[in-house]
Amino acid sequence: MEKDPVCGMLMGPKQAAAQRVHEGRTYYFCSTECLKKSDQAPARYVAVTQSHAKKDHP
Ligand SMILES: [Zn+2]
């Protein structure tokens, strides 16, 4: 399962509506809306996921 870094939705890679490679890692998005959001503020979403943030369980 892959996690959409924007909304947190879990999905299989084949279910993802969009994907994006960022710094060697592939991120999957449930919709192009989420992809757009991550494009607008990549640090906000992608960096948080990479650093194993404290927000795993909000
Ligand atoms: Zn999403």
pLDDT at 4: 95
Q: Compute the distance from residue 29 Cα to the ligand 1 centre, in Å.
A: 5
Q: Which fold has domain 2-51?
A: Ribosomal Protein L24e; Chain: T; (2.30.170)
> For residue 43, is pLDDT > 80?
yes
Q: Compute the distance from residue 4 Cα to the ligand 1 centre, in Å.
A: 5
Which positions ≥6 away from 18 have C-beta within 8 Å? Answer: 28, 29, 31, 32, 34, 35
For 1-58, where are the alpha helices, taking DSSP H only? 32-40, 42, 48-50
Two tokens, residue 11 = 């999905």
Q: Name the 3-class secondary structure at 9.
A: coil
Tell me the whole-structure pTM to 2 decimals.
0.74
Q: Compute the distance from residue 6 Cα to the ligand 1 centre, in Å.
A: 5
Residues 10-28: pLDDT tens digits?
999 999 999 998 889 899 9
Contact at 8 Å (CB) between 29 and 16? Answer: yes
